[in-house]
């Protein structure tokens, strides 16, 4: 199966506050996106579509879904502990748990995105500690909580520019520690070559992405792999030609002028990728 994921990051912030949301008022942003794309996605059979919203927008997005909508909703990571019958009933101030996201209408969660990894690494570095293995174990706890809550997982991995010489060791460690003891049936891997993502950086080419995807499939026993470095019009054809890549992760759809996410451009990217 092909998978097209959409990570809306913090794209709900209006331009007057430094954001890129020119689409709709904040209160209507989530419902506007769902309403704008769910019917158009029906033309693409055999593909799973999931959108990862900032938490604020989960409820209006869920309310806008039609009964026959092909769209799955997701949240942006969850906490590594949760409520339990006869146990903790909600003492999780400032943390978003798997159970509440499932109850709110989520089907999916994205865990281990490079921005989440950077945040966790930054906390450790503030204490004078460099321990990427510890971050992998924390993410593993999040994945297990997602599994327990009945959420499917897009688990992201990737190497930085300082890790290119041992990229294979880095990816293998992230997979083995991050997915230790996890049922892979409901896990998709998102591969982010962090060194190639962002303005002024050279995008990873087809041979590099292919060798990384092959390694991931080998380590995971054949898990589906999507390209997390940004599926866009410019690289859609190239990514579609890689047998080991099973889809992609879209974020921004417009990178010049009034940059941001625009539903019609999102559909165009999907159409280009799926042919």
Query: Which contacts qualify for 257-262: CB closer than 8 Å, 24 or more apart?
Result: 258/20, 258/22, 259/20, 260/11, 260/20, 260/21, 260/22, 260/23, 261/6, 261/8, 261/11, 261/20, 261/23, 261/33, 262/23
142 is catalytic: no
The token pair at 103 is 């109850």
- Please give the span between the terminal C-alpha atoms of the chain, in angstroms, as a whole number: 15
Coil/strand/helix, residue 7: strand
Q: Which helix (H) or strand (E) holds 134?
A: helix 132-149
Q: Where are the beta strands (DSSP E) in 187-235?
A: 187-191, 225-227
Interatomic CA distance for residues 159 and 191, integer angstroms = 9
From 57, 113, 147, 159, active-site residue: 113
57 is catalytic: no
Question: How many angstroms separate the Cα of 66 from the Cα of each of 47, 63, 70, 92, 211?
Answer: 18, 8, 9, 32, 40
- The residues assigned a catalytic role are 113, 192
């Amino acid at each position: 199966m092909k998978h097209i994921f959409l990570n809306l990051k913090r794209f709900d912030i209006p331009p007057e506050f430094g954001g890129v949301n020119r689409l709709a008022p904040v209160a209507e942003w989530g419902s506007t996106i769902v309403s704008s794309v769910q019917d158009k996605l029906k033309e693409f059979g055999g593909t799973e579509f999931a959108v990862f919203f900032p938490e604020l927008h989960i409820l209006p997005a869920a309310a806008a879904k039609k009964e026959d909508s092909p769209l799955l909703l997701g949240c942006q990571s969850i906490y590594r502990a949760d409520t339990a019958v006869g146990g903790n009933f909600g003492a999780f101030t400032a943390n978003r748990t798997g159970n509440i996201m499932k109850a709110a209408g989520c089907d999916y969660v994205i865990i281990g995105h490079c921005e989440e990894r950077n945040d966790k690494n930054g906390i450790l570095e503030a204490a004078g500690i460099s321990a990427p293995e510890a971050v992998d174990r924390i993410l593993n706890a999040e994945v297990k909580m997602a599994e327990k809550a009945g959420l499917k997982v897009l688990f992201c991995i990737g190497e930085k520019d300082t890790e290119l010489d041992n990229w294979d060791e880095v990816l293998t460690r992230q997979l083995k520690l991050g997915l230790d003891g996890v049922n892979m049936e409901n896990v998709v891997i998102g591969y982010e070559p962090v060194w190639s993502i962002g303005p002024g950086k050279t995008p990873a080419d087809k041979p590099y992405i292919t060798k990384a995807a092959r390694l991931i499939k080998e380590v995971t026993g054949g898990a589906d792999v999507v390209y997390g470095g940004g599926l866009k019009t410019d690289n859609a054809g190239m990514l579609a030609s890689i047998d080991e890549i099973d889809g992609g992760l879209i974020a921004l759809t417009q990178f010049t002028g009034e940059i941001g996410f625009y539903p019609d451009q999102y559909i165009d990217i999907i159409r280009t990728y799926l042919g």
